[in-house]
Structure 1
Amino acid sequence: MFDIRTANLGDGGEGQAAEVDVIKQVQSYLADRDITAISASEPDGVDALRRALAESAESRILVLYDPARIAVARGLVLNCPPSASLAVWKQQAGTLLSAYRLHRQRVIFASISAIELDPQLFQTALMQRLAMLGAPTHAMLRLSVPAWKAWQAIVACQAVAFDRVALSLDGELEAASLPLPFSFPTDPDTALSEFRIAEAGLTKAQAQLGELQSEIDEQRKTFDAERSLLYRQLAEVQQELREQFLAAAAHHDSLVRIRQEQESASAPIETPPAQPRSHEEDATSRPHATISGWKSNPFQEIKRTLTGLSRAER
């Protein structure tokens, strides 16, 4: 019975999509056969291998994996540094090989990239390894191989070539794998052409960035000038409003003062009540009063004055 399980041994973009296609075709090819297939594309690959080994003591296990160079190339597609991709690959490859060393007769490795290159050869090699009888019920189709860029291939090869641990693990995996040819072409001329194209694109992008920056600077200058003008106009409006407010306040005070003066002028004058006077005040004031009346009857006034003085002596 076929079972498909997964592990994580490097991933990346279109390469991972192609790996999923390989898994599906292997699943179809191995339908109704007593073999467990584990794909190196998910985090629980080692655990899946251990579970498969524990569940059955006789079933064969096919582990699909990527060589170190492919893992690094896929990492470059995702902008992952070669050292980081290679470190993850070495850790997980070492763990898988540790489980393989305890079950050499049951575990078979197969390079996903090699299967992509020649699915029919993979079918033949797997049948020979497992001593399968009869033709397969489903033929595998040739798959599209991920088109790694030349510079990515060169960088990946160089990264693995200078890592002794990666070389050792890669060689052990290849020895435990089905004998499938695999090529990872590296073309320096193509890589140089890719770098020139990238450099030209970078130069163009820098020129566009410079133009954009100039445009931003011009817009900023315009904005600063408009802002300064707006601030000046706002200050002028504030000054004008202040002057109008002060003039209105002065006019209001003037109106209030005029209204108070008008109210004071139109109010009636109150005469204080007359006070009673003594005889001395009446005697001293009478000569003045009578003198003013001499012109009308002087003899009577003289007589009235003498009479008043006589009474005062008594």
Structure 2
Amino acid sequence: LDFSITVGMNQTSISVSEFVLLCTVDSQKISYTIAVLTMVYLVTMFGNLLVILVIAMNPQLQRPVYICIATLAVIDLVGSTNIIPKLIAVLLDLTTIPYGLCLLQMLLAAESLLLAFMACDRYVAVVYPLRYSTLVTKKTLWAAGTLLNVLPAAFVLIDLIFITEFSYCKTNVLNYCFCDYSALVKIACNENPKYFIVFSTAAFVFGACPFGFILLSYVRIANAALKISSMEGKKKTFNTVTTHLLVVGLFNLPLLTSYAVTGIGVKLSIEVYNSMVIVANIVPPMLNPLIYSFKNKEIKKNIHKLFKST
């Protein structure tokens, strides 16, 4: 272990260059878990690359809703590549992670905002169909894209500044399968309320706000869909709603469940908590392209064309 030690008045400060990830998994399940993670990663890579390729190759799919789907696929690819290979390495007893790579694992926060924007796009398409082309323009997309990058970047920058202030006087072991801001706060010696305030604010901005906005949007969409006279129109609208809500549910429910369960006083074992967080981070990126491929006729049709032409 590479670290330097500074002795102070009341404690010993350890300047770490790496962390140890303590991923608690039953030893009898490790081989099975590694096999599942490898399969999930391969399916995730194939599915998301396929969605990106199909949308990029077909000009008729380069509309706001499909650009959002392609952007989601890129985020899922980067996030999965950032987490799953290292997770497999940890299970193979390569438990140390360099300081820089640990910080890199915390850089993705845009997905919840993107899902909220996608809900907004569908809301405009259903509730104001005649004004869609004037409301959702290239300028709107550029503004949304800027917000999706600037807001997470601002919080990440604050996190990184705070993390550089942390000192570690007891341990550099994280009781998690990958790096997390709250995990670093827990093992740091610093006890400044600002570290928890930024965490709570980020949870509100990237968790509660987008999730609440999405639910409200789809309540309005469902209400508008019920007023559509044709059954075909209602079916198409509800198909869009269920597709997006399924993606949102996969992204939010595992984490929300873990927070709710611990919030009412139920103590989860580290293994159970890790499992729920892992599911929340690796399953949605694998299923998102499958959901959009099977539920979206345009994407499905162009995938069939792609394979027929090869």
**Is TM-score (shorter-chain normalized) higher than 0.5?**
no
Q: Which has the higher contact order (CA 8 A, sep 6+)?
A: 2
Q: Larger helix proportion, structure 1 or 2?
A: 2
TM-score (ref. length: structure 2): 0.24
Rg larger in 1 or in 2? 1
